Chain A
Amino acid sequence: MTNDIRSKSMDPACQEMLRACEKSGLETAWDRLEKQQPQCGFGELGVCCRNCNMGPCRIDPFGEGASEGVCGATADIIVARNLLRSIAAGAAAHSDHGRDVAHAFKLIVEGKAPSYGIKDQEKLDRLMKEYGVDSPALLAAAILAEFGKQDGPIQFTRRVPPQRLELWKKLGIDPRGVDREIVECMHRTHIGVDNDYVNLILHGLRTSISDGWGGSMIATELQDVIFGTPKPIFSEANMGVLDPEKVNIIVHGHEPLLSEMIVAAASDPEMIELARNEGAKGINLAGICCTANEALMRQGVPIAGNFLSQELIMATGAVEAMVVDVQCIMPALGPLASCFHTKLISTSPKAKFPGAVHMEFHEDTAQETAKEIVRTAVKNFRNRDPSKVQIPDIKTQCMAGFSVEAIVSALGGSLDPLIEAIKNGSIRGIGAVVGCNNPKITQDFGHIGMVRELIKNNVLVLTTGCNAQACAKAGLLQPEAAEKAGEGLKAVCQALGVPPVLHMGSCVDISRILVAAAALANALGVDISDLPAAGAAPEWMSEKAVSIGAYVVSSGVFTVLGTIPPVLGSKAVADLLTSGAKDVVGACFAVEPDPVKAAGLMIEHIDSQRRKLGLA
């Protein structure tokens, strides 16, 4: 049993809770994955098409049965269409998040969202200049217009080095508008439209660019304007941040529009007084997934766990309310909450859950709703059953808050010291390690195995999302973690007082990594594809990750995936993604489930890039 639990998660807190769940018969994602075994081979290869009702059709990968769907679609066409739909879904998720933030910004500017304000006037001024407008209202209109634009350009795409922009234009993948590209994915994959796998995939790249350099970047930039641009901040990570004597509220999901208000409401003296009256010592807030990252980066709210921790955190029996908005929230939480006193509170009109209490959140009444949610949690404290409470006594200190602005400021005002360190070899290169958890890989093992190997080899790691949280839990986000880095990286980190792994935020904040990459390339006068840099998503599972992978590669960064994408049913598509793309966008994918070997591929790539740049 012990071995079995170790193969599920390398996080000791999760291991403890997995044992507890097993004892009390609570089912988790790992159990459900087991029940799904064996998973459908057609699905794993991506050769199943359900796009029209002549189907469903499947291609026999062994060549004996059908080699075409009813319409004549081959494995190449079906795999490419399915991939395009995944990119569309991922880009839609990020960009719709961006739209919500842009819409909130508009309401703030119009004075219709009194709960919110402007925290970073300097960034607001910079964005107005970038857009060539002279009022916040015009900026709001211009940014919201990015979504419905028909002929482009999306302003932030102009942040890329000129060579990259020229390449995108030449390939016809400079996006014309955020929504247009996503809609066109759905059109092209409809029966009888785009049946050329190269043409399909090129549009996938265009769509993903409208996410990374569009929707996601809009989300990041405007969240910074509204809530403040992150600065280095210390906090803690893992389930030990739950307080047995306080009302524990977990924020889970993705958008800071909600969590920032909950943070404010939880520190309201009226609410704290109420908590004391209910017999609690106060109110304790912690987060899961990217909501946690957003709240950590700006408010220092501790991380309770990453994606696969969500059920286990609820199973501690110490959570009064788990407040969720959108994305990566398991529907399993509803039935699980019914085993405890925990209230699962859904807040987005887009995302309702069986077994949840729905307290809908709107910008104009945000503060009141947040207080109501906190009040509900506080009143639930008395219902906690102490006999069911088990909080693993495990937490780790972490340092986060590394926006590009914060990194530049830590470097003394420019990127020059970083460039110098890369040139002289003390920093070998940059590894962007991001992405989800996936129970197909031991939780956090893919992340930590890779990151440790990278920093040991003097690769500075930039991280977001669930990887950042895995690193936080494993102690890699402490300045002391520099000890685990190679001599060159260690010296740089110690001189600056920063960890060798820089937490840059949530999944939409991968846009910060893009901005950093563009700035580095511009400073060196090269394209992004010339940088000694590589990306990775060791435990990816979501469609958002597919879009991310596509825009990172489109931007010119070699990317290693730790779980196999459903494309291997078409040799042509697989070859295009893993080698052909290199001749098109200057970067490609690799698939390597072993995290140390995957890190090896990244280091090999970084070294070859260094040689091309004439660096030793």
Chain B
Amino acid sequence: MIAMEENKEIFVRLERCMGCRSCEMACAIEHSDSKNLYTAIAEKPVPVRLLYVEKAEGRNVPMICRHCEDAPCVAVCRTGALVQNSLTGVVERIEENCMGCWMCAMICPYGVVGRKTGVRMAVKCDRCKDRDIPACVQACPTGALVYATQREFMEMMRKEAAARIAREARALARA
């Protein structure tokens, strides 16, 4: 598989997460039939979210599928229910192939394999295949979730760090 440099990923800026769970809600709505909050809450089966805001060591940590290179969940899937798109790197799911063996759930280092309501079937982040920007990223009110290429994300972080260093240097010079 060739991971293209221009492929975008969902990055997390931990310090910005307020724990509002807007991403979780947007995710569940996006993966409902109606894609509308007011009707989604009454759907059967109940739509589920595919990312999880955890509280750990005093911090809010949005946990979301990393779509790993040579993804272990894909490697252990015995039925071809999980496949990695060779162009986008996204780990995609072929629902009818899933037999609920939970090998993917056991191997996932992040614990982000979910369960479809009422059935023995694995579900996971599909990075919102019908959208340009994933629903969770769009819903985040603080920009804690960033949808960008790795280069873009690093450039953004680098510029922020540079600005911080410059400010500190100026303050030191004044002192």
Contact = CB atoms under 8 A, between A and B. Distances in A.
Do the two chains bind? yes
Interface string B19-45: 011101110110000000110111000
A568 B38 contact: yes
A45 interface: yes
Interface stretch (A58-66, A348-356, A386-394): A58-66
A41 B48 contact: no
Contacts of A568: 38, 41
A385 interface: no
Given A63-B46, A64-B48, A569 B41 contact: yes
With most chain A CB atoms within 10 A of its CB, the pick from B24, B38, B49 is B38
B46 A42 contact: no
A569 B38 CA distance: 8
Contacts of A38: 22, 26, 138-139
B158 to A, nearest CB: 27
A41 B47 contact: no
Which bucket holds chain B's interface residue count? 20 to 34
A37 to B, nearest CB: 8
With most chain A CB atoms within 10 A of its CB, the pick from B37, B42, B49 is B37
Contact of B46 (A41, A45, A58, A64): A64
B37 A45 contact: yes
Contacts, number: 43
Contact of B21 (A42, A63, A569): A42
Secondary structure at the A interface, as helix, strand, loop or mixed, is loop
Interface residues of A, number: 16
Contacts of A571: 42
A459 B128 CA distance: 48
B124 to A, nearest CB: 15
B20 A62 contact: no
A434 B43 CA distance: 34
B49 A62 contact: yes
Interface in A161-216: none
Given A568-B38, A569-B41, A41 B49 contact: no
A62 B72 CA distance: 29
A54 interface: no
A61 B20 contact: no
A142 interface: no
Contacts of B41: 45, 61-62, 568-569
A40 interface: yes
Per CB-CB distance, the 6 closest pairs between chain A and chain B, nearest first, are A41-B25, A61-B41, A62-B28, A38-B139, A62-B46, A41-B37
Interface of A: 38, 40-42, 44-45, 58, 61-65, 564, 568-569, 571
